Copies of this chain bind each other. A is one copy, B any other.
Amino acid sequence: MRNIKLTIEYDGTNYSGWQIQENGPSIQAELEKALLLITKENCKVAGSGRTDAGVHARGQVASFMTNSRIPEDRFAYAMNSVLPQDIVIKDSREVDSGFHARYSAVGKKYSYILLNSRFPSPLLRHYAYHITYCEKLDIESMRQAAACFIGPHDFYGFMSAGSKVTDTVRTIYDIQIAKEADQVKLVFRGNGFLYNMVRIMTGTLLDAGIGKIQAAAMPGIIASKDRRRAGSTAPAHGLYLDEVYY
């Protein structure tokens, strides 16, 4: 059988998340429906990881096995012709049989968009988290706090309940925080992220940005492994899975 790797962009607004659910539409189910239509096979699509309801992706990666003879780059066009408009395959290629979207991944890049303004934006209502801190939000304090996340740490305290993961050590390579007009964009790169970890890190950096947490306290908060000492979980609709590294 052939092993096909897909790179996928999606608008998560109208989905219950990546994973197939009994109730509610999922990205994975839409992809498998599309593959059934074009290959007549019941392909199982493996994603690099789940995304929650409302979370977007610019570069989610998935793979599946097939006997279809469709040329590798044509899967993108064929699938796009039957997928809903809020899911688009940006690239399809045949890969080694040993490749697996989840197990082969060595890192990920996520971004989180904040809109810091007095009023919400209708145009960004599904695409950025609206906060009203305005001048109170100090970007430099956020950067100082973010620096404490860099490197390998046990991020047990930055994980939501409901995950079966036992090894909670992850390495963060890089966090960039950029302000442009009333938007703040946070970009996180690391070898992996626990359940809700980017959203909890974002909530914690917001606490640092308004002075509720001092950068000096960050190492202690991480070391405590106490979910209650980290910030709250920033909402799903500001989060984007940008890239998966292999």
> In the complex, which residue of chain B has the Cβ closest to the Cβ of A86?
B122
Pick from B9, B87, B88, B120: contact of A88, CB under 8 Å = B120
Give the residues in chain B near A123, CB-CB below 8 Å: 9, 11, 56, 58, 127
Question: Are B76's CB and A125's CB within 8 A?
Answer: no
Q: Chain A binding site: helix, strand, loop or mixed by DSSP?
A: mixed
The answer to whether the Cβ of A121 comes within 8 Å of any Cβ in the partner chain is yes
Interface size of A by CB at 8 A reads 21
Known A-B contacts A11-B125, A125-B11; A119 and B86 likewise in contact (beta carbons under 8 Å): no
The answer to whether the Cβ of A158 comes within 8 Å of any Cβ in the partner chain is no
Question: Are A119's CB and B56's CB within 8 A?
Answer: no
> In the complex, which residue of chain B has the Cβ closest to the Cβ of A9?
B122
Q: How far is the CA of A121 from the CA of B10 in the complex (A)?
A: 8
Q: How far is the CA of A123 from the CA of B111 in the complex (A)?
A: 14
Min CB gap A93→B, angstroms? 14
Q: How far is the CA of A89 from the CA of B118 in the complex (A)?
A: 11
The answer to whether the Cβ of A85 comes within 8 Å of any Cβ in the partner chain is yes
Give the residues in chain B near A80, CB-CB below 8 Å: 119-120
> In the complex, which residue of chain B has the Cβ closest to the Cβ of A56?
B123
The answer to whether the Cβ of A153 comes within 8 Å of any Cβ in the partner chain is no
Q: How far is the CA of A76 from the CA of B117 in the complex (A)?
A: 14
The answer to whether the Cβ of A90 comes within 8 Å of any Cβ in the partner chain is yes
The 5 tightest CB contacts between A and B, nearest first, are A11-B122, A86-B122, A88-B122, A90-B119, A11-B123
